[in-house]
């Protein structure tokens, strides 16, 4: 295989799969017993764990509380060994902050937050 070719002359990818062959997919729910909800997803070498706590009373500053709906907090982090950059700080970098914001916006659109006024829902994705 030369340069940017994705398939060998025999029709295989670098990882040995055929062109139309998908990576192995595995999913499990309820993997973390202490949380109100959790899920694990794996596709090939990519693995993700999501954990949800809440809805519960707003923790910390009461000014975060919204009288008509729940507040959704999202935190995303990636293992330091999982990127080519080998980051020293897995939390708080720009990429993680952006992903946290995208997750928050997605869940605010998907969750019926008006059903949980003056409460908080925490979502952690690793």
> Quick check: 60 pLDDT over 50?
yes
> Quick check: 78 pLDDT over 80?
yes
Instruction: Give all strands of the β-sheet with 119-125 in edge-to-edge order.
Output: 25-29, 37-43, 46-57, 119-125, 71-76
pLDDT in tens, 15-32: 888 888 899 999 999 999
pLDDT in tens, 109-122: 999 999 999 999 99
For residue 14, which of 47, 84, 23 has the smallest C-alpha distance? 23
Instruction: Give the pLDDT band (50/70/90) at residue 67.
Output: confident
- Residue 108 in 3-state DSSP? helix
> Quick check: 87 pLDDT over 60?
no
Could you give all domains of the chain from N- to C-terminal order, each with its CATH number?
A: 25-125 (3.30.230.70)
* 63: CB partners within 8 A, 6+ apart: none
> Quick check: 2 pLDDT over 90?
no
Burial tier of 100 (Cβ tally within 10 Å: 0-12, 13-18, 19+): buried
DSSP H/E element including 60? none
The token duo for 25 is 């997919």
Give the pLDDT of residue 1.
44
User: What pTM value is reported for the model?
Assistant: 0.79
Spatial contact of 93 and 126, defined as CB atoms under 8 Å apart: no
Residue with tokens 């003056």: 118
Burial tier of 1 (Cβ tally within 10 Å: 0-12, 13-18, 19+): exposed
Residues in the chain: 126
- The average pLDDT across 79-96 equals 69
- The average pLDDT across 48-58 equals 96
């Amino acid at each position: 295989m030369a340069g940017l070719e994705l398939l060998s002359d025999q029709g295989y990818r670098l990882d040995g799969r055929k062109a139309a062959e998908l990576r192995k997919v595995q999913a499990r729910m309820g993997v973390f017993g202490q949380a109100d909800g959790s899920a694990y997803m794996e596709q090939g070498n990519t693995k993700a764990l999501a954990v949800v706590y809440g809805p519960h009373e707003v923790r910390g500053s009461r000014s975060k509380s919204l009288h008509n709906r729940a507040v959704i907090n999202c935190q995303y982090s990636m293992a330091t060994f999982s990127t080519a950059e080998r980051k020293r700080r897995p939390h708080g970098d720009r990429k993680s902050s952006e992903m946290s914001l995208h997750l928050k916006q997605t869940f605010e659109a998907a969750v019926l937050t008006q059903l949980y006024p003056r409460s908080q829902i925490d979502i952690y994705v690793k």
